[in-house]
Amino acid sequence: MRKIKDVLRLCWGQGLSKRKAAGSCGVSRPTVADYLRRAEAAGLSWPLPAALDDGALARLLFPPVPAVPAAARGVPDWSAVHRELKRPGVTLQLLWHEYRQTHPQGYQYTRFCQHYRTWRGKLDLVMRQGHRAGEKLFVDYAGMRAQVINPATGEVREAEVFVAVLGASNYTYAEATWTQGLEDWVGAHGRCFTYFGGVPAVVVPDNLRAGVSKAHRYEPDINPTYQDLAAHYGVAIVPARVRHPRDKAKAEVGVQVVERWILAALRQRQCFSLAELNRAIRALLETLNNRPFKKLPGTRRTLFEQLDKPALRPLPVAPYVYAEWKQARVHIDYHVEVHGHYYSVPHALIKKQVDVRITRHTIECFHRGQRIASHRRSDHPARHTTVPAHLPEAHRQAGEWSPQRLGRWAAQVGPATETLVRRILSARKHPQQAYRSCLGILRLGKRYGDDRLEAACQRALTLGSHSYKSLESILRHGLDRQPLAEQTEAGLPEDHDNIRGPAYYH
C-alpha cells in the first residue's frame, strides 16, 4: 500500500524535508519527490479533502494506462526474432529498439522479453540452444553403418557414416568412409568444408581416438594430425566433455536425423562401391536439407543461406594434404628413422627429440615448432637420405672425396704422386680406409712443395714403401734431394760346397 497520505502530511503539514519524510515512511527519497510532484500536478494541498480516501487518492495520482489493442501494439514475428538472435552481435535489446521504432505503442522491453521467452519455450530443446551463425560445426559418426557389396566376391563390407551439423541453421552433411581411422576422419572434414563452401570458427568433435589422443576435462590432447588440419583451415578444435552429450546435442540429433531419413531409406538398396553409396547419400542429403521445419519457417538450406553461409570463413587456396606426425630421437649419425629409412637433420640436434611430419611425398622435421629439415620421401628401407649441409665440417670434407677425385688431385702434382696414391687406394679392401692416408700425402705438398713431394714419391716407389709415414720421413730428412744409389744383387758362386749342381739329380 502506497504511503501517499503520510508523505503529504509530513512534508506539507509538518514541513519536514524530503529526506526526513522518506526515512520516517520507509520509502526512498525519489519516491517522496514523485508523490509530491504528482500531488501538485493534481492540484491538491494539505489538508486533503475528507472524502478522498486512499484508493481514490492513488487513482488520482496514478491513473491506469489506457488499454492498447494488440493490433495497435504490433505483435513481433517471434520466429524472425529467434532467427536474428543467431547473427553475431545481435541482442534482444537491439531487436526491441528496432521493434519500437516501427511500433511506438508496442511492448516495453520487459514485456517484450517475457513474450519471446514464452514463445521460445514451446520449441524443442535443441532449438532452444543458442548458436551464433558460422560459429560451431558439430561432427560425429553415426551408430548405424551402411553396407557395400563386393561385386566380384559378393562379400558385404560395412562402411562408417560421418555426420556434420552447423549450429545455427542445422545444415547437415554426411558421407560414408571405410573406417573411423585418422586418414578417413581428417579427409571427411576437408570434404565437409568444401561442401559448405566455407569454414566455421569452431569444430566440436566427440572424444574418438582419431580426434583426441587423450581426453581431459580442461585440456584434452588433440591428435597432431587433427591439429594440423585445424591450423591449415584456421579453425579451433573444442572437444565435447566426456559423458556430456549435451555439449554436442546438435551432432546427436543430426546423427539421429541422418539415420532415419538417409540410412533407413537406403536399407533395401544395394551399393557395389563406396562411391556409389556416397552418391546415394548425397541425393538423400539434398532432400533432407530442403525439408521444411515443423515449428519454424523455412528449411535447413534457407537458414544456411541466410545465417551460416555469409558468416563462414573462406576456404584456403589449397586443400589440406594429409600428414601423419611422430616423435623421433636424433641418432649419433644425425639421422632420424621414418618407416625404415633414415633422413638427416642438422648435426647440432644429436640425441634431441624432433617432431616429424610425414606426407605422401615429403618428410619434414621440426624442433620447437621450427622446421629444420625437409626431404623427399623414400620407400627404400635401410638407406639414408642426407643433406650435406647437415654434416659436421670434418664429415662433410671427408664425404666429398672419392678415389677418382683423389687420383685427379694427385695427378696435378706429378705422375709419381698419382701412382703412389692409386697404389695405396688399391691396397685396401675398402678405398675409404685409405682416404686419410692419401689426404695426408697430398697435404705434404703444401708444406714441402709439389716438386719435393713428387721426388719423394718417386723414391718411395723405387723403395717399395707405400705409406704416409715413409713419405713423411723421406721429406723430413731431405732424402728426396739425394740421388738414389743403384742397388746391385751379388751373384752366387758357381763352385761351392753347398751347391750340388745339376749332376746331383741324375
- pLDDT tens-place values along the chain, 506 residues long: 467 888 888 888 888 888 888 888 888 889 889 888 888 888 888 888 877 777 787 878 877 765 556 566 778 888 888 878 877 778 888 888 888 888 887 888 888 888 888 888 776 544 444 578 888 899 889 888 999 999 888 899 999 999 999 988 889 999 999 998 888 998 999 999 999 999 998 888 877 666 565 544 444 567 788 888 888 998 888 887 665 555 567 778 888 889 888 888 888 888 999 999 999 999 999 999 998 887 778 888 998 998 888 989 999 988 888 888 889 999 888 899 998 899 999 989 988 999 999 988 999 999 988 999 999 999 888 888 888 888 887 666 666 667 888 888 889 989 999 999 888 888 876 666 677 788 888 889 888 999 999 999 999 998 888 888 888 998 998 888 888 764 444 445 555 556 666 665 55
Q: Are 409 and 443 in contact (CB under 8 A)?
A: no
- Angstrom CA distances, 469 to 76, 157, 260, 465, stand at 104, 75, 89, 9
- Measured in residues, the chain has a length of 506
Strands (E) across 370-411 are located at: 370-376, 384-385
DSSP state letter for 299: B
Distance between CA atoms of residues 131 and 115, nearest Å: 21
pLDDT at position 241: 66
Distance between CA atoms of residues 266 and 277, nearest Å: 9
Distance between CA atoms of residues 145 and 166, nearest Å: 22
Q: Which three cell numbers stand for residue 247?
A: 555439449
Distance between CA atoms of residues 187 and 133, nearest Å: 24
CATH number of the domain located at residue range(s) 136-311 in this protein: 3.30.420.10
* Residue among 253, 331, 348 at smallest CA distance from 293: 253
Place of cell 709415414: 469
The amino acid at 51: A
Q: What is the pLDDT of residues 358-389, one digit of tens each?
A: 988 999 999 988 999 999 999 888 888 888 88
- Angstrom CA distances, 139 to 127, 205, 259, stand at 18, 5, 15
pLDDT at position 389: 86
pLDDT at position 279: 94
Distance between CA atoms of residues 46 and 6, nearest Å: 11
Distance between CA atoms of residues 458 and 406, nearest Å: 18
pLDDT at position 437: 83
Q: Are 420 and 460 in contact (CB under 8 A)?
A: yes
pLDDT at position 354: 93
pLDDT at position 245: 57
Q: Which three cell numbers stand for residue 113?
A: 522479453
* Residue among 63, 117, 43 at smallest CA distance from 85: 117
Cβ-based neighbours of 46, under 8 Å, separated by 6 or more? 8, 9, 12, 13
pLDDT at position 366: 92
Quote the Cα angle for 322-325-331, to 5°.
Answer: 140
Distance between CA atoms of residues 463 and 480, nearest Å: 12
pLDDT at position 490: 45
The amino acid at 39: A
Say if pTM beats, i.e. exceeds, 0.75.
no
Domain boundaries, the chain: 4-61, 70-122, 136-311, 324-393, 401-481
